Amino acid sequence: MSISTCRILLIEDNLLDADLIKRALQKMETGIQVELASDGEEALLYLEKWDKGTPTPIVILLDLKLPKINGLEVLKKLKTHSRYKLLPVVVLTSSNETTDIQQAYALGANSYILKAIDYDQFSSAIGLIHRYWCGLNVYPE
């Protein structure tokens, strides 16, 4: 699969974190497209948008502590959906609870990354996510 544009769906209710993530990603690549869903309900609406022809992202960055529908429920819906279950989902959260980590992987998370408190560490982690998913990873046809 040839990826011409790195398209990311960011599911994050903290607008400060969302802004930091978007800015860090846009520093990496000028043509990057980041869409934001600010709660779990809004995130699940993307399934309908994709069914109607909106391009799917190459990776989803998912916070767990979301209003309306929590991140684990969003992950479960994505990973049990026949058409979108192969979309990579990176959990990007402040929760280092063992149960959250275990549940996320059990539900099909592709990665689990803790948000760093330090801006430079946080920006560096976002850069690594970008380089891996937008540069190195090979996607199924």
Kindly list the domain boundaries of the chain, sorted by start residue.
Answer: 7-136
The gap between the terminal CA atoms of the chain, to the nearest Å, is: 5
Give me the pLDDT at residue 4, please. Answer: 58
Q: How far apart are CA 118 and CA 109, in angstroms?
A: 25
Fold of 7-136: Rossmann fold (3.40.50)
DSSP 91-130: EEES---HHHHHHHHHTT-SEEEEPPSSHHHHHHHHHHHH
The whole-number average pLDDT for the span 7-29 is 90
Each residue's pLDDT tens digit, 71-106: 999 999 999 999 999 999 999 998 899 999 999 999
Whole-number Å distance between alpha carbons of 46 and 124: 28
pLDDT in tens, 4-17: 578 999 999 999 99
Q: In a 3-state reduction of DSSP, which class is residue 7?
A: strand
